[in-house]
Chains A and B, each alone.
Chain A
Amino acid sequence: MTITQAVRSSATDGAAPKRAGRIRTENRRASAAFYWMVWPAVIAFAGFHTLPVLVGIFFSFTNYAGYGAWNFVGLSNYFNLFQDDRVLQAYGFSFLFAIVATILTNAFSLAIALGLNAKIKARNFWRGVYFVPYILAILVIGYVFQFFFSNSLPKILAGIPLFADNILANEQWACTAIVALAVWQACAFAIIIYLSGLQTIPAEMYEAASLDGASAWRQFTSITFPLIGAFFTINVVLSLKGFLQVFDPIVALTNGGPGTSTESVTLLIFRGGFSGGEFAYQTANAVVFFIVITIVSLFQFRVLQRREADF
């Protein structure tokens, strides 16, 4: 199920979309030009994405170190994966991080989008300002944040021990700094999606609601939120998927430390596979992670689409 399909079906509450009556053409097939337009994309996608994935799945059944000789080892990599507490810890961290960051991102983005959709002064200027984090390179921002957490905050908040000792060096709380950076960056894109959602709601709805004496809160819960349900679904699914694969903010801020307390699954795959020389073993981990993310995303679509409204 692709995202576009999801949007289309969720915008119509899962009912089959109405087809326009077909115009009879001579050869009842799309013109060949359309096929020729598609081919380059198909070849590029297959070459740069599908093929490497299949090669990776193949090597997850070997003891290949990434170079040199190798043998088939059957499912051993997968069995060993489930006995590795470091992997389980990484999954725990990734899921906790993703859930917290998804909730925060969507709460902040929706609030800001409502504000940017209202009749405020210099509205377009503010929309531009809130979109800036999305354009900046995450690693650059990451190192700015790292300097901020390590050097600026300890001076600004010298009275609070947690910040004075560099929060990034604190095993329990380092993850909150990563959440802060990731949410700060992810909000920009979510705001854009919510804004486009808010613009699909006709103003008459609100006029009618005001005449009936509905409060602002009531208008939000009964009109706004149900009607942008499809956009909420997309945002939650995309941000959870993105946050599960968190990598750059961690590299920039803590590099998985202190200890391995902020090691996400992707960081573990990268570290163990390349620096640790366990290429095939971590490829098996990547295959499992791919399956987990797919299941989680499909599950989210099913649950969230049940509660979307339409008009």
Chain B
Amino acid sequence: MTKRMRTTVRAVAVLATAGLAIGLNACASDASGEVTTLNFFQFKGEALEDFNQMIADFEAENPDIRIVQNQVADADTLIRTLLVKDRVPDIVTLNANGNFGRLAEAGVFYDFSDEPVLETINPAVQDILADLGTYGDEVNGLGYVNNANGVIYNAAIFEEQGLEVPETWDEFIALCDALTAAGITPFYGTLADSWTGVPSWNALGAYPAQDDFFDKMRAQGTDIGPDSEVSFQKDFAEMMDQQYTLYSYMQDGYRGKTYDDGNAAFANGEVAMLLQGIWATNPIKQVNPDIEMGIFPYPGTDDPDDRLLVSGVDVVFTMGKNNPKQEAAMRFIDYAFQTDVIEGFAASQNMVPSVEGAQISDDPALQSVKPFFDDGRITGFIDHQIPPAVPLIPIDQEFLFNGDAEAALKTLDNEWRKVAARTIPVTTGEDQ
């Protein structure tokens, strides 16, 4: 190797090494003077088009802001991975579940306490969010639209068969038997998507979970079992039997069908009911725009007055704690909460808007649950109270496959106990 050649090789190598070293550093920040580009992390696939429209309208009014909607699958996992990498998106929508509560508790989200938009939101909705978890007494999210988790039914089939909405458990079973006798499959099961077992579990489990079941569970620590004051084995046996009974009225092959299969089959009138929440009405309408649907709460009791509608905050808006683009992001959030904008979004998504004074659309499915919202006969999703490290979805799916309620409840108690035993709370103040 000649001397000159050696120098060349060395120069190339130095360049390559330097290039790698730069590549290992964080990406350079993009400082665009003219237009602020906001990264909008959006969890809800069904809302992709609505948000695109909203963004287009907003950008027309605000030419200095550009918003890139990033619609993601499995948002709960992805937002965690982004947080691990310290790359919080500028605007975030999430489903307000237990995960959202834990993220809020970790103090990664902005505090909306002093934002004027907070005054316009129904306080009951913000209470549901606060129950999930907050950082200190901050307000870490803004409830946007609320859902209802009930039984979706095909109004035309009910009318044809002369059937009424059931108000007690016995009426519910009688209804299923009447449908079966008429040669109509009552429900369409979609257990290939394992999560689709959980909506009915939440709705029926809401009854035994009243009277602070989960507060007592947390107070018991690791002392969970058939003999403890409260436990799944002790309080949830009846509810599990109810769920398994409903699954005995499914179509053939319900184990291998997906959520989309179920929505399409229901839209085409193949079955009378779906064990899904109001979020499914939109995909159903995409298949059959003319379908007439209603929703009724799961009547898990013998007294019609004890019926409860399970409801949660379906979409919550939030953003990162220390975001340089905060002002621009807040402008979009303020725009989204304007009465006419939120009404349009809620009507399109078949949800209940959280801004006070915003009207519920006159969709029959929404109107059928309106009385429960008006009377306050609503309760939260119980799976938001269960630590995510407890594999609830697989446990419930397995139970619906094999019908062994005792084993499923024992597993639930055991997983809860293990998570309680190994959770070592962070002593705040030692922020490192």
Contacts and interface: CB of A to CB of B under 8 A. Distances in A.
Contact of B426 (A43, A68, A261): A68
A39 B80 CA distance: 34
Contact of B401 (A68, A169, A272, A279): A169
Contacts of B401: 169, 171, 258-259
B430 A71 contact: yes
19 contacts: A32-B10, A33-B9, A40-B13, A43-B24, A63-B425, A67-B103, A69-B432, A71-B424, A76-B422, A83-B418, A85-B414, A166-B253, A168-B192, A171-B401, A258-B401, A260-B398, A263-B394, A274-B80, A275-B74
B106 A47 contact: no
B219 interface: no
B357 interface: no
B398 A165 contact: no
Interface of A: 31-33, 36-37, 39-40, 43-44, 47-48, 63, 65-71, 73, 76-77, 80, 83-86, 150-151, 154, 165-166, 168-169, 171, 255-261, 263, 271-272, 274-279, 281
B255 A165 contact: yes
Nearest to A63: B424
A237 to B, nearest CB: 30
Residue with the highest number of chain A CB atoms closer than 10 Å, among B81, B415, B426 = B426
Given A47-B20, A150-B256, A257-B397, A80 B421 contact: yes
B107 A154 contact: no
A258 B398 contact: yes
A71 B389 CA distance: 20
A26 to B, nearest CB: 13
A69 B388 CA distance: 19
Contacts of B77: 274-275
A260 B80 CA distance: 22
B21 interface: yes
Contact of B256 (A69, A84, A154, A255): A154
Nearest to B391: A260
B18 to A, nearest CB: 10
A259 B415 contact: no
Given A39-B17, A275-B76, A277-B99, A63 B418 contact: no
B426 A272 contact: no
Nearest to A167: B256
B429 to A, nearest CB: 8
A257 B394 contact: yes
A93 to B, nearest CB: 13
Which has the most chain B C-beta neighbours within 10 Å: A66, A76, A263?
A: A66
Nearest to B84: A66
B378 interface: no
B428 interface: yes
B17 A278 contact: no
B430 A69 contact: yes
Given A33-B6, A66-B83, A276 B388 contact: yes
Main secondary structure of the interface of B (DSSP, over half): helix
Interface of B: 1, 6, 9-10, 13-14, 16-17, 20-21, 24, 74, 76-77, 80-81, 83-84, 99, 102-103, 106-108, 191-192, 194, 253, 255-256, 387-389, 391, 394-395, 397-398, 401-402, 414-415, 418-419, 421-428, 430-432
A67 B106 contact: yes
Contact of A44 (B20, B419, B424): B20
Given A43-B17, A84-B418, A279-B84, A165 B253 contact: yes
A75 to B, nearest CB: 12
A86 B21 CA distance: 41
Contact of B16 (A40, A47, A68, A85): A40
B256 A71 contact: no
Nearest to A87: B418
A258 B256 CA distance: 11
B183 to A, nearest CB: 23
Contacts of B103: 67
Given A76-B422, A86-B415, A260 B21 contact: no
Given A63-B424, A257-B397, A165 B16 contact: no
Contact of B424 (A76, A86, A154): A76
B20 A278 contact: no
A36 to B, nearest CB: 3
Contacts of B10: 32-33, 36
A257 B13 contact: no
B106 A169 contact: no
Contacts of A67: 80, 83-84, 103, 106, 108
B194 A257 contact: yes
A169 B255 contact: yes
A56 B291 CA distance: 53
A63 B422 CA distance: 10
A271 B397 CA distance: 17
A136 to B, nearest CB: 22
B427 A71 contact: yes
Contact of A171 (B21, B80, B402): B402
A168 B191 CA distance: 11
B102 to A, nearest CB: 6
